[in-house]
Amino acid sequence: MLMPEGVAIDGITGAVSPATVHYTKRLSELRELFQDREAVESEVERLHDPIVYEVAEYRKQGSDIFFGTTTMSPGRVGSEYYMTRGHFHERPNAAEVYYTQHGDGILLLESRDGQSENVEMQPGSCAFIPPGWAHRSINTGSEKLVFVWMCNIAAGHDYGDILKRGMRKLVVARNQLPVLIDNPSWGH
Ligand code: M6P
Ligand code: ZN
Protein backbone atom coordinates (compact mmCIF):
# COMPACT_ATOMS: atom_id res chain seq x y z
CA MET A 1 0.00 0.00 0.00
CA LEU A 2 1.29 3.47 -0.85
CA MET A 3 1.64 5.70 2.17
CA PRO A 4 0.67 9.39 2.32
CA GLU A 5 3.57 11.80 2.38
CA GLY A 6 4.14 15.52 2.59
CA VAL A 7 6.46 16.84 -0.10
CA ALA A 8 8.21 20.16 0.43
CA ILE A 9 8.43 22.40 -2.62
CA ASP A 10 10.65 25.44 -2.39
CA GLY A 11 8.88 28.17 -4.33
CA ILE A 12 12.08 30.08 -5.02
CA THR A 13 14.52 27.33 -5.96
CA GLY A 14 12.04 24.71 -7.17
CA ALA A 15 13.64 22.07 -4.94
CA VAL A 16 11.36 19.09 -4.28
CA SER A 17 11.98 17.07 -1.13
CA PRO A 18 11.88 14.12 -1.27
CA ALA A 19 12.32 13.92 -5.06
CA THR A 20 12.48 10.66 -6.99
CA VAL A 21 14.02 12.03 -10.20
CA HIS A 22 16.05 15.11 -10.97
CA TYR A 23 17.62 16.15 -14.25
CA THR A 24 19.09 19.22 -15.89
CA LYS A 25 19.06 20.40 -19.48
CA ARG A 26 22.01 22.40 -20.66
CA LEU A 27 22.14 24.69 -23.65
CA SER A 28 24.26 22.29 -25.72
CA GLU A 29 21.43 19.71 -25.46
CA LEU A 30 18.90 22.22 -26.74
CA ARG A 31 20.73 23.56 -29.80
CA GLU A 32 17.99 22.75 -32.29
CA LEU A 33 15.38 24.78 -30.44
CA PHE A 34 16.88 28.15 -31.28
CA GLN A 35 16.79 30.02 -34.57
CA ASP A 36 20.27 31.50 -34.34
CA ARG A 37 22.61 28.48 -34.23
CA GLU A 38 25.76 30.62 -34.22
CA ALA A 39 24.47 32.44 -31.16
CA VAL A 40 23.85 29.06 -29.48
CA GLU A 41 27.46 28.05 -30.01
CA SER A 42 28.85 31.33 -28.75
CA GLU A 43 26.63 31.24 -25.65
CA VAL A 44 27.64 27.63 -24.92
CA GLU A 45 31.26 28.76 -25.09
CA ARG A 46 30.86 32.04 -23.22
CA LEU A 47 28.77 30.66 -20.35
CA HIS A 48 30.39 27.17 -20.22
CA ASP A 49 27.28 25.35 -21.30
CA PRO A 50 24.76 26.87 -18.90
CA ILE A 51 21.81 25.03 -17.37
CA VAL A 52 18.65 26.20 -19.13
CA TYR A 53 16.22 24.27 -16.93
CA GLU A 54 15.97 21.60 -14.26
CA VAL A 55 13.17 19.19 -13.55
CA ALA A 56 12.53 17.55 -10.18
CA GLU A 57 9.85 14.87 -9.94
CA TYR A 58 7.93 13.05 -7.27
CA ARG A 59 6.67 9.79 -8.72
CA LYS A 60 5.39 6.68 -6.99
CA GLN A 61 4.72 3.41 -8.73
CA GLY A 62 1.09 2.39 -8.35
CA SER A 63 -0.27 5.94 -8.56
CA ASP A 64 -1.96 7.42 -11.62
CA ILE A 65 -0.60 10.94 -11.10
CA PHE A 66 2.82 12.43 -10.60
CA PHE A 67 4.07 15.95 -10.08
CA GLY A 68 7.19 18.03 -9.82
CA THR A 69 8.77 21.34 -10.59
CA THR A 70 10.54 22.89 -13.53
CA THR A 71 13.01 25.64 -12.72
CA MET A 72 14.16 27.73 -15.65
CA SER A 73 17.16 30.03 -15.69
CA PRO A 74 16.75 33.50 -17.13
CA GLY A 75 18.61 33.98 -20.38
CA ARG A 76 18.45 34.40 -24.12
CA VAL A 77 20.06 33.09 -27.26
CA GLY A 78 20.16 36.08 -29.57
CA SER A 79 16.73 37.60 -29.14
CA GLU A 80 15.03 34.32 -28.16
CA TYR A 81 14.39 33.59 -24.51
CA TYR A 82 15.35 30.30 -22.89
CA MET A 83 12.69 27.65 -23.44
CA THR A 84 11.88 24.01 -22.74
CA ARG A 85 11.82 21.47 -25.57
CA GLY A 86 8.02 21.34 -25.71
CA HIS A 87 5.97 18.22 -26.28
CA PHE A 88 2.59 16.70 -26.99
CA HIS A 89 1.37 13.97 -24.69
CA GLU A 90 1.33 10.56 -26.27
CA ARG A 91 -1.99 9.78 -24.62
CA PRO A 92 -4.76 11.66 -26.42
CA ASN A 93 -6.78 12.38 -23.26
CA ALA A 94 -3.92 13.45 -20.96
CA ALA A 95 -4.10 17.01 -19.65
CA GLU A 96 -1.58 18.79 -17.41
CA VAL A 97 -1.61 21.62 -14.89
CA TYR A 98 1.14 24.23 -14.41
CA TYR A 99 1.09 26.37 -11.29
CA THR A 100 3.64 29.17 -11.38
CA GLN A 101 5.38 30.00 -8.13
CA HIS A 102 8.10 32.44 -9.11
CA GLY A 103 9.18 34.55 -12.04
CA ASP A 104 7.60 35.56 -15.33
CA GLY A 105 7.06 33.51 -18.41
CA ILE A 106 4.89 32.54 -21.30
CA LEU A 107 3.36 29.14 -21.82
CA LEU A 108 3.09 28.53 -25.56
CA LEU A 109 0.51 25.99 -26.65
CA GLU A 110 -0.16 24.54 -30.07
CA SER A 111 -2.73 22.07 -31.33
CA ARG A 112 -1.90 19.32 -33.83
CA ASP A 113 -3.50 21.34 -36.60
CA GLY A 114 -1.37 24.39 -35.82
CA GLN A 115 -3.64 26.58 -33.73
CA SER A 116 -1.47 28.69 -31.40
CA GLU A 117 -2.39 29.93 -27.93
CA ASN A 118 -0.46 31.31 -24.99
CA VAL A 119 -0.97 31.76 -21.28
CA GLU A 120 0.96 34.16 -19.07
CA MET A 121 2.99 32.58 -16.29
CA GLN A 122 3.34 34.62 -13.13
CA PRO A 123 3.22 33.73 -9.43
CA GLY A 124 -0.20 32.33 -8.56
CA SER A 125 -1.32 31.64 -12.13
CA CYS A 126 -2.51 28.14 -12.79
CA ALA A 127 -2.59 27.04 -16.42
CA PHE A 128 -4.78 24.25 -17.72
CA ILE A 129 -3.14 22.41 -20.61
CA PRO A 130 -5.89 20.47 -22.37
CA PRO A 131 -5.25 17.12 -24.03
CA GLY A 132 -3.98 17.49 -27.60
CA TRP A 133 -2.02 20.70 -27.06
CA ALA A 134 1.75 20.80 -27.24
CA HIS A 135 3.26 22.96 -24.51
CA ARG A 136 6.54 24.81 -24.13
CA SER A 137 7.48 27.19 -21.34
CA ILE A 138 9.61 30.25 -21.85
CA ASN A 139 11.31 32.32 -19.18
CA THR A 140 10.80 35.94 -20.20
CA GLY A 141 11.92 37.46 -16.90
CA SER A 142 15.22 38.34 -15.30
CA GLU A 143 14.83 35.80 -12.48
CA LYS A 144 14.26 32.09 -12.31
CA LEU A 145 10.90 30.85 -13.50
CA VAL A 146 9.61 28.16 -11.11
CA PHE A 147 6.43 26.20 -11.70
CA VAL A 148 4.79 23.09 -10.31
CA TRP A 149 3.29 20.67 -12.83
CA MET A 150 1.06 17.69 -12.39
CA CYS A 151 -0.21 15.11 -14.84
CA ASN A 152 -1.08 11.49 -15.47
CA ILE A 153 1.83 9.14 -15.03
CA ALA A 154 1.10 7.47 -18.37
CA ALA A 155 0.71 10.74 -20.32
CA GLY A 156 3.95 10.15 -22.24
CA HIS A 157 6.14 12.76 -23.94
CA ASP A 158 6.06 13.09 -27.72
CA TYR A 159 8.93 15.43 -28.61
CA GLY A 160 9.40 14.47 -32.24
CA ASP A 161 6.63 16.48 -33.82
CA ILE A 162 7.56 19.76 -32.15
CA LEU A 163 11.25 19.25 -32.79
CA LYS A 164 10.57 18.67 -36.48
CA ARG A 165 8.17 21.50 -37.19
CA GLY A 166 9.05 23.94 -34.41
CA MET A 167 6.32 26.01 -32.84
CA ARG A 168 4.29 28.50 -34.81
CA LYS A 169 5.26 31.40 -32.56
CA LEU A 170 8.63 32.56 -31.25
CA VAL A 171 9.03 34.60 -28.09
CA VAL A 172 11.68 37.24 -28.62
CA ALA A 173 12.93 40.37 -26.86
CA ARG A 174 12.10 43.71 -28.47
CA ASN A 175 13.34 46.71 -26.51
CA GLN A 176 13.93 44.29 -23.61
CA LEU A 177 10.27 43.21 -23.62
CA PRO A 178 8.90 39.84 -24.73
CA VAL A 179 6.82 39.74 -27.90
CA LEU A 180 5.36 36.88 -29.89
CA ILE A 181 6.24 36.76 -33.57
CA ASP A 182 5.53 34.24 -36.32
CA ASN A 183 8.20 31.58 -36.69
CA PRO A 184 9.55 31.98 -40.23
CA SER A 185 10.73 28.35 -40.33
CA TRP A 186 7.58 26.78 -38.88
CA GLY A 187 6.74 23.44 -40.48
CA HIS A 188 10.08 23.19 -42.37
C1 M6P B 1 7.20 20.42 -17.34
C2 M6P B 1 6.48 19.12 -17.49
C3 M6P B 1 7.45 18.00 -17.64
C4 M6P B 1 8.46 18.35 -18.70
C5 M6P B 1 9.18 19.64 -18.36
C6 M6P B 1 10.23 20.08 -19.35
O7 M6P B 1 7.76 20.46 -16.13
O8 M6P B 1 5.61 19.19 -18.59
O9 M6P B 1 6.74 16.83 -17.98
O10 M6P B 1 9.35 17.29 -18.88
O11 M6P B 1 8.21 20.62 -18.30
O12 M6P B 1 9.66 20.23 -20.61
P13 M6P B 1 10.17 19.36 -21.83
O14 M6P B 1 10.15 17.94 -21.35
O15 M6P B 1 9.20 19.66 -22.93
O16 M6P B 1 11.53 19.84 -22.14
ZN1 ZN C 1 3.45 17.72 -20.60
- CATH code of the domain in which 119 resides: 2.60.120.10
Question: How far, in Å, from the CA of 43 to the mean position of ligand 1?
Answer: 23
Residue 188 lies in a domain: no
- C-beta atoms surrounding 174 within 10 Å: 9
Q: How far apart are the first and last CA of the chain?
A: 49
Residue nearest (by alpha carbon) to ligand 1 atom 8: 149
* Residue 80 to residues 14, 35, 138, 177, Cα–Cα distance (Å): 23, 8, 9, 11
Cα–Cα separations (whole angstroms), residue 177 to 55, 79, 82, 123, 125:
26, 10, 14, 18, 20
- Stated pTM of the model: 0.97
Establish whether residue 88 lines the binding site of ligand 1, counting it when its CB lies within 6 angstroms of any ligand atom: no
Q: Which pLDDT band, with edges at 50, 70 and 90, does 28 fall under? A: very high
Residue located nearest, by CA, to atom 7 of ligand 1: 70
Residue 146 pLDDT level (bands cut at 50, 70, 90): very high
Q: Which residues contact 19 (CB under 8 A, 6 or more apart)?
A: 56, 57, 58, 68
How many angstroms is it from 46 CA to the middle of ligand 1? Answer: 26
Distance in Å, CA 37 to ligand 1 centroid: 23
Is any ligand 1 atom within 6 A of the Cβ of residue 89?
A: no
Question: What is the DSSP pairing of strand 88-89 with strand 96-102?
Answer: unpaired
pLDDT the model gives residue 127:
98
Q: What is the mean pLDDT of residues 102-127?
A: 98
Ligand nearest to the CA of 55: 1
CA–CA gap between residue 4 and residue 74 (Å, rounded): 35
Any domain includes 1: no
Distance 53 CA to ligand 1 centre (A): 9
Report if residue 2 sits inside a domain. no
Residue pLDDT, tens place only, 67-96: 999 999 999 999 999 999 999 999 999 999
**pLDDT at position 188, please?**
77
Cα-to-centroid distance, 135 and ligand 1 (Å): 8
Closest atom of ligand 1 to 85 CA is 16
Number of domains in the chain: 1
Residue nearest to atom 11 of ligand 1 (CA): 70
Q: What is the mean pLDDT of residues 115-133?
A: 98
Burial class (CB in 10 A: 0-12, 13-18, 19+), 19: middle
Assigned domain for 187 exists: no
Domain around 162: 8-182
